[in-house]
Amino acid sequence: MKRSFHIRSLFWLILLVFLIATLLINNSPTTIRIRTLLLRFQLQDPAFEAALLKHAAIDPTEPQWNREIRNLLDQNHHHHHHQRYLLPEFHKALREWFQKKKLEPTSIMSELTQLVKNPIDAHKGSRYSSCAVVGNSGILLKKHYGKLIDSHEVVVRLNHARVQGFEQNVGSKTNISFVNSNIVHGCARMIGCKCHGYNDDVATVMYMCQPAHFMDYTLCKRSMGERSRLLVVTDPRFDVLCARIVKYYSLRRFVLETGKGLEEWGPLHDEAMFHYSSGFQAVMLALGVCDRVSMFGFGKSVKAKHHYHTNQKSELSLHDYEAEYQFYHDLVHGYTPLPFLQHDTKLPPLLMYH
């Protein structure tokens, strides 16, 4: 009798496993809901969270960056003759940046006022009372946010986005243009390194896409004269923090939507090219230097252009915008803890205008 009970129990267990496996293979709405629930339970597992953080902290491009930086620091003859006089400044800037890159980004959010705001602002010490970060999404063309955007103490724009002709939608005020170094690479040969339509007192904050772009930064600092304080390179610890947060959310989304393992994310996302967007880092910067942050022009619509001021038709595949939007969502709704941020990190209120 006891043996018969064990056989029946084993039979029902095998049947249950078979039914679950069958459900997970199918793609019916019910199956998808069950699969999502199971994955959500997995995402709450501390062991999985630890694995997620570990994977997100891996930077596959680090060895290549290190090689390129060492080559640039060791070799003095790979520059045009008219640039050689800049080599000491170039090497100094690159070496200091490289040393910081080796440090953990533990406290970087609390240092942004000192590292970014103070150099470009005469009123040192205090944070900005309010900041508007204006994205470049074409959805802005359907809104008249201009006056609301300009009402903020500081307006941050991305990659020298044009405002002329779009003032009703995006405002006319600009205090900081947050750019990737490819933008400055194109500006470096221009007088005063100016290649935007903003006023001369607008600051440019840039993150490095390539180590060689430090030569463009050095050229710009020289040509800008007294205005050189208005060109700032982001601390590499800040870059690392942004990269880890976006990768964390991308990995998490990947597992939740596909059911695949963390190790399968890399091959499917061209991991060596994967990068956060300029908009994401601009928002992170604002969270570090402002008491209140508003976002405009983040998001997309099938009925809107990708950028309000260009004819670019689609987003770049090296970004995971959906992962970034999930981070914004968690910020807006006050979800904690947020990955890679110290538990005592206090972030200001964030509003997202759609």
CATH of the domain at 143: 3.90.1480.20
Q: What pTM was estimated for this model as a whole?
A: 0.86
The verdict on 116 and 200 lying in the same domain is yes
Instruction: For residue 106, give the amino acid letter.
Output: T
Helix (H) or strand (E) segment spanning residue 207:
strand 203-207
Would you say residue 256 lies in a domain?
A: no
Q: Which domain holds residue 104?
A: 61-243+273-353
Count the residues in the chain. 354
The verdict on 228 and 319 lying in the same domain is yes
Would you say residue 283 lies in a domain?
A: yes
> Any idea what DSSP says for residue 194?
-
Would you say residue 94 lies in a domain?
A: yes
Half-sphere exposure at residue 256, Cβ-oriented, CA atoms within 13 angstroms: 16
Q: Which of 58, 42, 59 is nearest to 260 (CA)?
A: 42
The verdict on 7 and 87 lying in the same domain is no
Residue by residue, pLDDT tens for the chain (354 residues) are 545 545 666 656 665 555 555 555 555 555 545 444 445 555 678 899 999 999 999 999 999 999 999 999 987 655 554 567 788 999 999 999 999 999 999 999 999 999 999 999 977 778 999 999 999 999 999 999 999 999 999 999 999 999 999 999 999 999 999 999 999 988 887 877 887 879 889 999 999 999 999 999 999 998 888 889 999 999 999 999 999 999 999 999 999 999 899 999 998 888 888 999 999 999 999 999 999 999 999 988 877 787 898 877 666 678 999 999 999 999 999 888 899 998 889 999 999 998
Helix (H) or strand (E) segment spanning residue 30:
helix 29-43
The verdict on 20 and 142 lying in the same domain is no
The verdict on 162 and 302 lying in the same domain is yes
Helix (H) or strand (E) segment spanning residue 176:
strand 176-180
Question: Cβ–Cβ contacts within 10 Å for residue 127, how many?
Answer: 17
The verdict on 167 and 289 lying in the same domain is yes
Would you say residue 15 lies in a domain?
A: yes
The verdict on 223 and 84 lying in the same domain is yes
The verdict on 100 and 29 lying in the same domain is no
CA distances from 113 to 13, 110, 120, 164 (A): 59, 7, 10, 30
The phi, psi pair for 265, rounded to 5°, reads -65, -45
The verdict on 106 and 182 lying in the same domain is yes
Q: How many structural domains compose the chain?
A: 2
Q: Between the CA atoms of 64, 98, 323 and 43, what dihedral angle is there, to the nearest 10 degrees?
A: 90
The verdict on 73 and 36 lying in the same domain is no
The verdict on 237 and 174 lying in the same domain is yes
With beta carbons less than 8 A apart as the criterion, state whether 282 and 133 touch: yes
Would you say residue 52 lies in a domain?
A: no
State how far the Cα of 171 lies from the Cα of 151, in Å rounded to an integer: 9
